[in-house]
Amino acid sequence: MTSRETTDSELIDIAHYILSYAAFNKAAYENSRLALFDFLGCGLKALDEEDCRRAIEPIIPESRVVGGARVPGTEYQFDPATAAFAIGTMGRWLDFNDSWFGKGGGHPSDMWSALLAVGDYQCRRGDSILMSKILENGIKAYEVMGLHLMDNEFGPFDYTAPLKVAVSASVCQMLGGGEDEIIGAISQCWADGQPLRIYRHPYTTWRKNWASPDAAARGVWHAYRAIAGEAGYPAVLSTAGAGVLDAEQKGEPFQYPMSYKSYVMENILFKIFPAQFRAQTAAEAILKIRPDVHAAINDIERIQVFTTERAMRTVDKQGPLRTAAARDHSLQYILAVTLIHGRLDYDLYDDDVAADPRIDLLRAKIVLTEREKYTKGFEDPSIRTDATSIQVFFTNGESTGEVEILYPLGDPRRRYEAGPLLAQKFLRNIKGRLVHDSEIEVIRLFENPQCLESMTASEFMDLWVQN
């Protein structure tokens, strides 16, 4: 047994929470269910993309694991780590899954891939892991990841680090691990070191779409290793010189705004538009202003956009945009293509659409400016707005009024308004992609939480059979 005197308190706190906490409210369970289905719907939709299908193919062609974890919408069966990568890549590919506030940003639903893969695999080995357990561990994994990201920014390192930690802790518990095993697993995650975020900023490449799945797969791998007896590094954070805090955080301790409960799942941000989350309010604003603008689109002189510092840093993309991954992270592209077409759907990021010369003409007229009160509202936990304001100016000197959207549709404060839209999104994403009987059953489970929770993970995954 590891001496707790030499173990970082941050690791102990995670292990205690994962093993013991159970006081989840109705909102947490409801959002957990919605987040799970939303993630899987995004994954099925992503299979329309050739690049996504190629990314999840086995490295060794035709390799399969008999009785392995299933990958929805495909014939693949893999070991749980490989399945976590494949499922996660599907769910993350379109950047249409849920998001999170904080200095580190992030997409907590990226970890569903690990929980589903491990739950499915273990059921096929004789364990009985119910979907209620998957949903509960999802709440816990969201919490661990989300609280790490709220007040900590990982400098040049990618924000997938706490996702890896959250996955490993939750999976380890699902595998029967106790405190020592969980601490060992998450310490190994921290000891990995973390990738640079160059593939997000300034370059946006396809790696963005599989970075979190890569971390989730690694978290699964460490959990299984810990269960097998692999020792960890109990002072991985605090060890002078070599530990994470000195090596990666300039000696500064991690900050946590609250204790672990279910805050993150209760306040998770769903996406209604297929775009980086900083663009959600902007997309809604441009759709509201479009009826007053579209007829005179050729007479636009300037589109003034007021936004947050975070949006300026993450979605202010000019110059060539060579992939869909770059386009859905360019606020200028998003506004231009939405203004032209009157909608924002993922097909508008395709190369043939992007070749329309009108898009680049409009992109050049879009001016992004930070509005300080928006940045302060984004950074203040008591406000947590993600506001955008847009005003259009014409060559004749006239202009529209300023259209302001304070909170995106997927924000908790607009949950009632967004609920039907989220359901429509899910139904649209799965339509025609599963065999008929499976599609009917999946929709039934989407609408009936009690039926879902009583199923085993393998029974649930068996439904996601490609058409």
Helix axes 9-20, 160-174, angle to 10 degrees: 50
Looking at residue 116, its pLDDT comes to 98
- Please tell me the total number of residues recorded for the chain in this structure: 467
Q: Please name each of the domains of the chain with its CATH number.
A: 4-266 (1.10.4100.10), 277-408 (3.30.1330.120)
Within the chain, what is the greatest distance between any pair of CA atoms?
Answer: 76
- pLDDT per residue over 154-200, tens digit each? 877 888 999 999 999 999 999 999 999 999 999 999 999 888 888 87
Element spanning 388, H or E: strand 388-394
Looking at residue 43, its pLDDT comes to 97
Distance (Å, whole) CA 197 – CA 314: 12
The neighbouring-strand residues paired with 68 are none
- pLDDT per residue over 252-288, tens digit each? 999 999 999 999 999 999 999 999 888 999 999 999 9
319 φψ region: left (φ > 0), alpha (ψ -120 to 50), beta (else):
left
**pLDDT range class, residue 2, cuts 50, 70, 90:** low
136 in helix, strand or coil?
helix
- For range 198-209, the mean pLDDT: 81
149 close to 254: Cβ distance less than 8 angstroms = no
Distance (Å, whole) CA 446 – CA 34: 8
